Structures are given as structure tokens and as C-alpha cells.
Amino acid sequence: MGRKPCCEKIGLKRGPWTIEEDHKLMNFILNNGIRCWRLVPKLAGLLRCGKSCRLRWINYLRPDLKRGALSEMEEDQIIQLHSRLGNRWSKIAAHFPGRTDNEIKNYWNTRIKKRLKLQGLDPVTHKPIEQEKDEGLKIEPLDTRRFQEIPAVPQKELQENCRSDSDETVDLLHDYEMLWEELDMGLSSDNPEICSLTKYYSPSISLEVSFNPSCSTGESSSLQEDSGQCWINNVENSVPPSWDGLHDVEDIFHFENHQ
């Protein structure tokens, strides 16, 4: 007998998220917060496992995410941190509010590694490759004591990142609106960063309209701008499922059995 999977895989959807799924997850979390990831997909009406929902939220849907390429300064900071922390991506990401560990890991693997190699540095040890050969590939073990020397996230950032759930939800809604405002501006100003973002959202336009006929007026050009606002409206006006509606664990299994 192997390890039991984290969730019932049978019948669960995998692969890229559709805009409808994003919408459901976003709606649910913004209105209810997160208490238990395993239950989120059930309550939000998604055929995904909790892990998948968590990942999607953290890496993509969180409204406080920063978008776009990292600056050279950020890149240098990542190299500095990596030399001290190693592949502890979540620890490194903690120094970059709005950036995810997955993003930094990807950035490291696809760009920084290459950059270091071009500079003749080993991306693992951060030492000159020649020097490393001399030392006979002797790799120093990580000195965990040094981790304590890493400057923590500034107090202000910590306070900003560690507020209560309710504050966070209000802020998320606000950030969410800001995101769409940026999107709208980006669509009209050919901002490449926003465009790369909308690349993933663009398929939503028709879907969005099909969900909400009240949004389907107007020409296609204004449709894109409207769709963002419609989504926000949906988030604010819809009556979503909630944790309160779940009185008993038995409810969940009852729910599962009747899917």
C-alpha cells in the first residue's frame, strides 16, 4: 500500500486553470477567507484538490502579487540571499513582498543561473568555477548559524504582511480593484507587462460574458475593459458559499458522495 494521496484524485480536474475556476476560487476566498484548504474546493464548487487551489491562489490569484520582471537590483539581492540560504526559495521570497517562491525559483533556474555561469561562477557554491576545480569539488555544508544573520523583512513590511484576516480580505478586495484598474490602463497603453498578464485572462472575456449576460453589452473593445469591472461586481454582489454554511464534517462527506 502506498501513501494515501492528499485528496481523492478520481474525478478531480488537473492542468491549467480556467477563468471560471479562477473566478470561483477568487470569489470564495475574498468573501470567506481561508481556514482549511482541503475544504476550499468543495465549498467553492471546484473539482480540484485543496493543494491545487492553494497553489493557484498563492502563485497567481493573490491580488497583492507583483507582476513583471525583476529589476537588476532584485536579481542581485536574490544572488546574495541564495549564497547564504541556498535553495530555500520561500525564505528568499520572504524578502520580496509580492513575489512568490515559485516565481523566484523559476527566475533563478531560467535566468540567474545562466548569468552566473557566464560570469564564471558556480550557481550552487557561488565560487569561481576554476577555484572550485582546485578545491576538488569540495562543497561546504551550509552553516545554519549564518541564517540568523540574514536581515529579516523590515518591521513595517512584517506588520503589513501579518494583519488580521478581516483586514486582509478588505485589502484584497481593494487590491483586486486596483489590479483591474491597472489592467484597463494596460490594455489601452500597450504596457507589455500588463499584456503578459492579460494573455492569461484574455480567454475569460467570452466566458465572463456568458456567465453574466448583463455584461454582454457593447463592442468587443470595451468588452475587455468591462469584464474586469464585471468580475469585481460579481465578487462583491454574489452570495457565495461560506464556512458558516458548513455545520458538520458529515456535510462534507455527504457533499462528496453526491457529486
Partner DNA sequence: AATATTGTCAACCGCCACCCC
Partner DNA sequence: CGGGGTGGCGGTTGACAATAT
Site of interaction with DNA (CB under 7 A) = 3-4, 6, 14-17, 36-38, 50-52, 54-56, 59-60, 87-91, 101-103, 105-107, 109-111, 114, 196, 200
Residue with smaller CB distance to DNA, 99 or 121: 99
User: CA dihedral in degrees (45, 46, 49, 55; nearest 10)?
Assistant: -110
C-alpha distance across the termini of the chain, in Å: 27
Residue 217 CB, nearest approach to DNA (Å) = 29
Q: For 94, how many CA atoms within 13 A lie in the half-sphere containing its CB?
A: 14
Q: Report the C-alpha gap between 85 and 70 in whole angstroms.
A: 19
Shortest CB 150 distance to DNA, Å: 13
Residue 11 neighbours by CB distance under 10 Å: 8
Cα 243 to chain centroid distance, Å, stands at: 22
In the bound state with DNA, the residue whose beta carbon lies nearer, of 6 and 170, is 6
d(CA 239, CA 211): 15
User: CB 157 → DNA: shortest distance, Å?
Assistant: 16
CA angle 252, 255, 259 (to 5 degrees): 140
- The one-character DSSP state at 112 is I
Residue 17 or 96 with smaller CB distance to DNA: 17
Nearer to DNA, 129 or 252 (CB): 252
Least Å distance, CB 38 to DNA, is 4
Per the structure block, which three cell numbers stand in for 203? 480567454
Query: Closer CB to DNA, residue 3 or residue 156?
Result: 3
CB of 48 to DNA, least distance (A): 7
Which residues is 128 bridged to in the sheet? 121
Residue with Cβ nearer DNA (65 or 232) = 65
Q: Which is nearer to DNA, 4 or 247 (CB)?
A: 4
Shortest Å distance, C-beta 196 to DNA: 7
Q: Least distance from C-beta 54 to DNA, angstroms?
A: 5
Give Cα separations from 225 to 163, 185, 211, 241 (angstroms). Answer: 32, 9, 16, 27
Looking at this protein, which amino acid is placed at residue 106?
Answer: N
